[in-house]
């Protein structure tokens, strides 16, 4: 078995109700190719397929093992992964009985083994079944006292890199007459600035042209806005990261989305990039008039 790219394989498993779904989503946001809850007999085939996909370097496979033949099948799959030379790590999520019972009672969903046992008894049985797998884990995370954001941070600290743990900001210009972007996290209105539309020499140009940009940026109010808004984005940056939000859309609007908003977006993006914030520019309504 040969791979086009070195493939890092992570197995995510653990107690039902311990946060496996949250952990898998966090890994996906960190750039891992995630595969959720496939049969153990297919794990090696999936890795084989992904090893020939250009750009796939990290694969996280979430496995829900509940007993019986599944343990034997998983044991065989793990051995095969190592035989083929893939770096394999196992992260095991666990939680105390009280925490798991509380979560299942809150969600009103049955435990996978609850058909045969009472809830607390089902948790105890599952813990016994998973004991040998837990012993093989490279990382055990106890989520008893963690909320979803804290679990995400634990995953990020263990498996993230600098590139995947940065805030990515999309700065979007738009025209209010075409509607406010529904996916915007922050919205600012540039209609308080003098409108280049009323200057015949500037009317046909856009905020991407030097003459319009210079006119808009030269306004005293523009500099105050850019300074304060850059500081605002820096202020909320830490909070977004703490809460697990990695992608933010900042919408800057003017009447038609051609002059003021475009010029301000270009300059704001330049300043954020200079502050080492991963920034992408989109002019939604430019050319629409």
Local confidence pLDDT in tens for the 289 residues of the chain? 444 456 889 999 999 889 999 999 999 988 899 998 888 888 989 998 888 888 888 999 998 866 556 777 888 888 888 888 888 889 999 998 888 888 888 877 877 777 767 888 888 888 888 888 888 888 889 898 888 888 888 888 788 775 555 778 989 999 999 999 887 889 999 999 999 999 999 999 999 999 999 999 999 999 999 999 999 998 888 888 777 677 788 999 999 999 999 999 999 999 999 988 889 899 989 988 7
Those residues with Cβ within 8 angstroms of residue 114's Cβ, 6 or more apart along the chain or in another chain? 122
Nearest to 65 by CA among 152, 143, 127: 127
- Level-2 CATH architecture, domain 8-159: 3-Layer(aba) Sandwich (3.40)
Beta-bridge partner residues of 228: none
Nearest to 221 by CA among 250, 187, 188: 188
Pairwise CA distance, residues 126 & 57, whole Å: 32
pTM, 2 dp: 0.61
Domain ranges of the chain: 8-159, 168-283
Pairwise CA distance, residues 64 & 84, whole Å: 23
Pairwise CA distance, residues 82 & 267, whole Å: 51
Residue 96 CB neighbours (<10 A)? 16
Q: Which helix (H) or strand (E) holds 261?
A: helix 260-274
* Strand, helix or coil for residue 282: strand
Q: pLDDT value at position 69?
A: 64
Sheet holding 33-36, edge to edge: 33-36, 58-62, 8-14, 88-94, 139-142
Angle, alpha carbons 285-287-289 (nearest 5°): 80
Q: Which letter does DSSP use for residue 40 in this model?
A: G
H and E: helices and strands count for the chain? 10, 9
Residues in the chain: 289
Residue 12's alpha-carbon distances to 58, 63, 82, 163, 203, in angstroms, are 13, 6, 16, 22, 57
């Amino acid at each position: 078995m040969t791979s086009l790219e070195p493939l890092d394989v992570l197995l995510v498993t653990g107690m039902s109700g311990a946060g496996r779904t949250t952990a898998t989503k966090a890994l996906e946001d960190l750039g891992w190719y995630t595969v959720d809850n496939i049969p153990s007999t297919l794990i090696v085939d999936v890795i084989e397929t992904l090893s020939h996909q250009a750009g796939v370097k990290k694969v996280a496979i979430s496995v829900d093992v509940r007993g019986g033949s599944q343990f034997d099948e998983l044991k065989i799959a793990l051995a095969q992964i190592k035989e083929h030379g893939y770096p394999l790590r196992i992260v095991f999520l666990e939680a105390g009985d009280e925490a798991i019972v509380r979560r299942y009672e809150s969600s009103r969903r049955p435990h996978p083994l609850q058909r045969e046992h009472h809830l607390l008894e089902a948790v105890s049985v599952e813990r016994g079944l998973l004991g040998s797998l837990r012993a093989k884990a490279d990382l055990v995370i106890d989520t008893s006292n963690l909320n979803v954001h804290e679990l995400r941070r634990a995953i990020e600290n263990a498996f993230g890199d600098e590139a995947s743990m940065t805030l990515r900001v999309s700065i979007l210009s738009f025209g209010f007459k075409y509607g406010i972007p529904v996916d915007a996290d922050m919205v600012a209105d540039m209609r308080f600035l003098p409108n280049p539309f009323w200057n015949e020499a500037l009317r046909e140009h856009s905020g991407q042209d030097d003459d319009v940009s210079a006119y808009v940026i030269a306004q005293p109010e523009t500099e105050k806005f850019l300074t304060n808004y850059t500081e605002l984005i820096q202020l909320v940056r830490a909070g977004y990261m703490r809460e697990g939000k990695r992608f933010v859309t900042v919408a800057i609007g003017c009447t038609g989305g051609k002059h003021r908003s475009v010029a301000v977006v270009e300059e704001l993006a330049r300043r954020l990039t200079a502050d080492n914030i991963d920034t992408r520019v989109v002019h939604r309504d430019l050319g629409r008039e």
